[in-house]
Amino acid sequence: MMVAGLLTAAFAGSASACSCYPGSGQGEAAAYMRADHVFVGVVLSETLEVDNRYRYRVASGVEYKGDVPRKVDILTPSSGAACGIRLTVGTEYLIFAHGDSGDRAVESYYCSGTRLASSGPPITDPAQTTTTTPTTPCATATP
């Protein structure tokens, strides 16, 4: 029993997890400021490369920051422990990416901020905390 516990501890100790650098957890406005490119894109294909990273071919749409080609590759580690992200073919994302898009490829990681586009445009104002539109009081409410 003790040997099993020691083996478990040894293997668990060698595993690593994604850890974002300090300051990266300050919300979407901070992610927007750190990103070189922020744009909406639909994932067209996924390829696992020999160097253990995913290459997602994306058709870009609305650009909020930076300039990317109409078809751009998003590169990310295949391992979640290395902060890689998984995207779904046919799904539209708001992509926060880094790097020079001159070679038609940029990088995105878990800490970059990439998310589903259905949540709305990027938050660029640190004071704003949500992408939902404010509601007005009901017309039948009494003052």
Domains belonging to the chain, first-starting first, are 24-119 (2.40.50.120)
Confidence at 20, pLDDT banded by 50, 70, 90: confident
CB 95 within 8 Å of CB 41: yes
Among residues 104, 103, 46, 100, which one has the least CA distance to residue 76? 46
Mean pLDDT along residues 100-109? 96
Confidence at 22, pLDDT banded by 50, 70, 90: low
Amino acid at position 73, single letter = D
Q: What is the pLDDT of residue 93?
A: 98
Other Cβ atoms less than 10 A from the Cβ of 3: the count is 7
Residue 116 has pLDDT above 80, yes or no: yes
Q: What is the pTM of this model?
A: 0.77
Q: What is the pLDDT of residue 18?
A: 84
